[in-house]
Structure 1
Amino acid sequence: MKTAICYYSRHHGNTLKILQAMASVGEIDLIDVTRTKSAQLAGYDCVGFASGIYGFEFQKAVVEFARQQLPQSKPVFFVYTYGGAKGTGAKAVAEIAAEKGCPVLGEFSCKGFDTFGPFKLVGGIAKGHPNDRDLENARRFYRDLQTKLENEVQT
C-alpha cells in the first residue's frame, strides 16, 4: 500500500517520531507541508494528514494543504500528537475529507512532550512522550490500516 502522509512537526518533533515509526512498517512518503507547496497525491493508495495540536486544532498549514491538494474520493487517515488536550483533533481536515467524498480509514493520536507557552514554566507536560509504547501503537495502527484497505480493495 503506497501512502503519503502530509504533516507539520515542530518544537520537539513528536509528530514526526510517530510518522517515522509508521514508515518503518510500510511504504510511506512523508511530505512536510512547510517545504512542499504541492504534491501529486492521486497516485497513492491513501493519504494521511498529521500535525501536533496547536491552540486546540490541527496546524493551519496542514489544513490548507488538505484543502488544496487532497484528490476527490481518496481514502484518508489522520494522526496527531497533543500535550494536554486533544482539542478538536482532526475535525478541520475531516471536514475537508467529507467535502471531497474521501472515506476516513481511521485516526491515531497520542500524547507528545509540550513546552509551549505557560507549559515551559513548569518544564513541560507529557514528558517522555511519545514513548516506546506510543510508537508501537502507531506501528500497529498503520499495519491495521493496511489490512483494512487491502480487504476493502479485495471486496
Structure 2
Amino acid sequence: MKTAVCYYSRHHGNTLKVLQAMADAGEIDLIDVTKPKTASLADYGCVGFASGIYGFEFQKAVVEFARRQLPQGKPVFFVYTYGGAKGTGAKAMAEIAAQKNCPVLGEFSCKGFDTFGPFKLVGGIAKGHPDEQDLSNARRFYRDVQNKLENEVQT
C-alpha cells in the first residue's frame, strides 16, 4: 500500500534521518511541507505526519498542512523527534485526525540532537540521537504500521 509522509525537518535533520530509516522498511513518498508542491494525499493508502517537537508540539507548518490536505477517513500515523521532552507530542495531529474520522495506526518518537536556544550554550542535548537503536525501532514501527494496514484490507 502506497504511503506518504508529510514532514518538517530542519536544524540537525533528526526527523528526516528517522524517515529515511523507515523508508528502508517499505516504500514511502516523503513530502516536505515547506516546498511548494501540490500533493494529493487521496492517492495514498496511508499518510504519516512527522516533525521535530518545537515549543513542546509539532511544527506549525505540518499541523496546517494536515488541516488543509488530509482527506476524510485516511489511516494516519505520527512520527516525531525531541531533544529534551516530548511535550504534548502529536496531540494537535491526533485532534485533526479525529475531526476527519481518520484512524490512527500509531505514534513513533525518539530523542534527537538539539542545540536550539539555551541548549546551544551547553553543546546541545541528546547527542548522538537518533542512534542506530532509534533507527531500528523506527523501521520496526513502520513494519507494524504496514501489517496493520494489510490486516485492515483483509478484514
TM-score range, shorter chain: over 0.9
User: How do 1:124-139 and structure 2 match up within 5 A?
Assistant: 124-139=124-139
Give the Cα separation in 1 of the matches to 2:139 and 2:150. Answer: 17
1:78 alignment partner in structure 2: 78
* Partner secondary structure for residue 96 of structure 2: helix
Q: Which secondary structure state, in structure 2, belongs to the residue aligned with residue 105 of structure 1?
A: strand
User: In the alignment, what sits opposite 2:145?
Assistant: 145
The unaligned stretches of length 5 or more in structure 2 are none
Distance (whole Å) between structure 2 residues aligned to residue 130 and residue 139 of structure 1: 13
Opposite residue 24 of structure 1, the aligned amino acid is D
Task: Give TM-score scaled by structure 2 length.
Answer: 0.98
The alignment's TM-score, normalised by the length of structure 1, stands at 0.98
1:78-117 aligned at under 5 Å gives the runs 78-117=78-117
Q: Write the deviation string for residues 32-85 of structure 1: whole angstroms up to 9, x where unpaired.
A: 000035410011110000000000010000000000000000000000000000
SS at 1:89 equivalent: coil
User: Distance between the aligned counterparts of 2:93 and 2:23, measured in 1?
Assistant: 21
Give the 5 Å matches for 1:39-58: 39-58=39-58
1:42 partner SS: helix
Structure 1 unaligned residues grouped into runs of 5+: none
Counterpart secondary structure, 2:129 = coil
Aligned pair count reads 155
Q: Helix, strand or coil: the match of 1:66?
A: helix
Q: Percent identity?
A: 86
Moved more, 87-96 or 32-41: 32-41
RMSD: 0.7
Could you say if the C-alpha distance between residues 31 and 91 of structure 1 is closer, same or farther in structure 2, counting changes exceeding 3 Å?
Answer: same
Moved over 3 A (4+): none
